[in-house]
Chains A and B, each alone.
Chain A
Amino acid sequence: MTLQFSNETKATFDWLVSRYPEKKAALLPTLWLAQKEFGGWLSPEALSYCARLLDLPPSKAYSVASFYTMYNLQPVGRYKLEVCRTLSCAMAGAFDIIEHLEQKLGIPCGETTPDGKFTLATQECLASCGTGPVMQINGEYYEENLSAARVDEILARLP
C-alpha cells in the first residue's frame, strides 16, 4: 500500500513549498499535512513519503518528527486529550484533572483506551496560564473553569 496525498492536499503541499527558498524548509508543514491526512500519526511509511516529496532521506524526516511533541509517531486514539501540567495550570488544579481522567478512562497518561477512543497525555505550558487548567482535545483548547465535572460534560458530548 503506497501512501499518497489527496489532490487537494497535494495542492496545499505545492503551495507550501513555494513559500520557501529551500524545499526542505517545508518539512514541518509537510509532516503536519501527513499527520492530518494519514490517520493522526506519522507511520514510517508516512515519514518516508514526506521525505521523498522533499528530496530528503527518510531518516531526516524521522529525526525531525521525533524532536517535536506534537507529531505522533505511534497511533493515537480518536481523541487525544492533553492536559497542561506546568506551574500555573498545576497551581490551578491540573493534576486533579489528570487524575480524574486517569480514573475515568482507566489508563495512565501516555496510553490509549482499549477501544481506541481516547489517548491521554500531559503537556507542558500551553500559554493558557491565565485561564488554566487547560485541556486540549485533538489540539482544541478547553480552558476557563475547567473542572472534573466540566471534563465529564465535554467528554460526554464527544461522538
Chain B
Amino acid sequence: MATFTLDGKTVSAPDGMNLIEAAAANGVDIPHYCYHPGLSVAGNCRMCLCEVEGARGPQIACSQVVRDGLVVKTDTALVEKMRKGVQEFLLLNHPIDCPICDQAGECRLQDYYMSYGQYDNRSDVTKVQKQKALDIGPLVVLDQERCILCTRCVRFTSEVSQSHELIVSGRGDTSVIETFPGMQLDNPYSGNVVDICPVGALTSKDFRFKMRVWFMKSVKSVCTGCARGCNIFLDEKDAVVYRYRPRTNLAVNRYWICDDGRLSYRRINDNRLTSARLRGAAVSFRDVYDHLVGLLRAERAHGSVVLVASPHSSLEDNFLLRRLDRRHGRSMLRAWDASAPATADNLLRCADPTPNRAGLSLLDVEPSRASLLAALAGPVQVAVLMQNNLAQDPEIAERLRQLPVVVYLGSHDDETAALAQVVIPVATHAEKFGSFVNVDGRVQRFYQAFEAPGDAISESTLLASLLHDLYQESRVDDVEEVWALMRQEVPELATLSWYGLGDEGVLLESTRVASSAMPNVASGV
C-alpha cells in the first residue's frame, strides 16, 4: 500500500494503482472520458488533469501511479479551469443535439457539463462537419460529429476483441473513427463499444429510440445466454426488458458481454406463457394447481413420476424439485437440456448454452439423455418437465407423446408446451430472485426485476407450495428460506446465504462442480 496525500487528506491505495482508481477508492471522483479500466491508457481526453506536487505542470491521473509521498490536488482553481476548458473544447464541435440523441441521460458530456462545465458559450465558429448515422455494423450506429475521439472503441477492437475494425483516420480536428472501406464492425463482442462510448457517438441499433434511459429501472442480473454467467444490468420499464448491459465482475466477464448474450434479453419479452392450460384449454391457475396436486397425490399411491430438472432453471428451483423427488419416493429425477451447443471462444462465450449446469452437478443431478430416455420408456404415468424445451429433440418428443400426462412448468409457448397436457406458466430469471452456478463453479445471484406476466409463477414458489400441500412442509416464501434448506443439504453452501453472495458471487470449492463443467476453453478473460 502507498500512503499519499489527496486534496490535503492522507489516504492510501495499492502501490502502483493509477490515480483515477486510487482517488475513487478514497471517495474522490476524477472526471475522465478516455480512461477505461479494461483498456490501455491513452491519456488523450485530458479531463483527468490534476496537480501533482513536484511535477512539471499538470498531470493526467490516468497515467499517474500512486506511490508513497505523492501529493495530489484535484480541488484547486487550476484543476477547475482545466476541466472547464476541456469540456468547452469537447463541445466546441459537438452538435449538442441532446434531444435527438439516444445517449441522453447516460452521456458523460451531459454529466460533466453539469459538474465541471457551466461556462458561458463564447464560440461562434462553424462546427466541423462529419458523417452522421453511419451504419457501421450489425449492432452499432456511428455519429462522427458526436465523437470526442477518446479511442475507447478503437482500443476495444484492437485489445479485447482483437478484431481491429475500428480505427482513427485523418488527423487533427478532422480525425474520425471509421472502419476500413467496405468493412463492418462485426465481431461477437461488438456491442461493448456502445457501452464504453462515453458519448452518443456509438449507439445500439437494437436499443436506439426505444426508450429514454431515465424511465428505465436497472436490476442486477446474470446473463442466461451461456454457462459463463456474465454479470449484467437488466434495464426494464413496465415489465418490458429493453436491454442488457455488462456489469463489471473481474472474476467472470470483466467489463464485457458477448453480442448473443446481449440480445438474449429478447427471450424474456417474447412468446411467453401467461396462462395455465389443461389439455389445450386455458384454465385458472387454481384449477391447474389443484389438478397437479391431484396427479401427484394419485401417483404417489400407484405408478411412477419422472421429474426432469433443468440447467436453465435456477439453483433454488432445481433444489426444490430434487426435494420434491426425495419426498415423493416413487419418482425418478432426471435432467437434460435439448438445446444446441453455442459457439465458444477464448474470451467469454461457452459452448454450454445453459446458465446452471454446474448447479445441477452441485445437486448431484447429472444431465443424461440416455438416462432420461430410459426413464421415459418405463412404466411412467406423469412426467414433470421444468423450464426446458425437451420436445425440440424428436426422440424425446416421441416418448413424451406416449405418456399419459406431461406436465410442463414453462416460461415459453414452445414445442414442449404444445405437447404437454398440463401447462403451468413460470417466471424467467427476470421475474424472480435466485442464483446460477456458472461454468467455473461460481454461484451468482440475480434479482427480480418485475412480476411475472399473467398467471406465471416462479418454479420455486410452485414447488414450495406442492411440498407444503403434499408433504406438510413449512411454507417457503422467499429465496433466503430456500437457502436455509439448501444450507442443510448441500455441503458447499453450508456457510452461504443468497444475499451474502454479494455482487461478485462466490467460487465454490467443489469437485462436483469442477467436474461438471462442459468441455470448454479456459476462461481467458
A residues contacting B by CB (< 8 A) are 44, 47-48, 57-60, 62-63, 66-67
Contact = CB atoms under 8 A, between A and B. Distances in A.
A60 B164 contact: yes
A121 B95 CA distance: 30
* Interface magnitude class on chain B: 10 to 19
16 contacts: A44-B180, A48-B180, A57-B164, A57-B180, A59-B164, A59-B166, A59-B179, A60-B164, A62-B167, A62-B169, A62-B181, A63-B167, A63-B168, A66-B169, A67-B169, A67-B171
A62 B178 CA distance: 10
A70 B180 CA distance: 19
A107 B169 CA distance: 26
Interface in B233-273: none
B352 interface: no
Contacts of B181: 44, 62
B99 interface: no
Interface of B: 164-171, 178-183
**What are the nearest 5 A-B pairs in CB distance?**
A63-B167, A57-B164, A66-B169, A59-B180, A44-B181
A23 B456 CA distance: 61
Contact of A66 (B165, B170, B179, B182): B170
Q: Interface majority SS on B: helix, strand, loop or mixed?
A: loop
B394 to A, nearest CB: 44
Contacts of A47: 180
Nearest to A51: B180
A74 to B, nearest CB: 11
A57 B181 CA distance: 13
Contacts of A59: 164-167, 179-180, 183
A145 to B, nearest CB: 33
B161 to A, nearest CB: 12
A146 B419 CA distance: 90
A66 B183 CA distance: 16
Contacts of B164: 57, 59-60
Contacts of B178: 62
Contacts of A57: 164, 180
Contact of A67 (B165, B170, B179): B170
A75 to B, nearest CB: 14
A58 B165 CA distance: 9
A47 B183 CA distance: 13
A60 B170 contact: no
Nearest to B170: A66
A28 to B, nearest CB: 15
Contacts of B170: 66-67
Nearest to B163: A57
A60 B171 CA distance: 14
A80 to B, nearest CB: 19
A57 B180 CA distance: 9
B167 A60 contact: yes
Instruction: Kindly name the residue among B167, B178, B182 whose own CB sees the greatest number of chain A CB atoms within 10 A.
Output: B167
A158 B222 CA distance: 71
A138 to B, nearest CB: 23
B439 to A, nearest CB: 30
A63 B170 CA distance: 7
Nearest to A48: B180
Contacts of A62: 167, 169, 178, 180-181
Contacts of B166: 59
A47 B169 CA distance: 13
Nearest to A61: B180
Contact of A58 (B168, B169, B183): B183
A59 B178 CA distance: 9
Given A58-B180, A62-B180, 10 more contacts: A44-B180, A44-B181, A44-B182, A57-B164, A58-B183, A59-B166, A60-B167, A63-B168, A63-B169, A66-B170
A58 B179 CA distance: 10
Contacts of A58: 180, 183
A85 to B, nearest CB: 16
A47 B167 CA distance: 14
A67 B176 CA distance: 11
Contacts of A63: 167-169
Contacts of A60: 164, 167
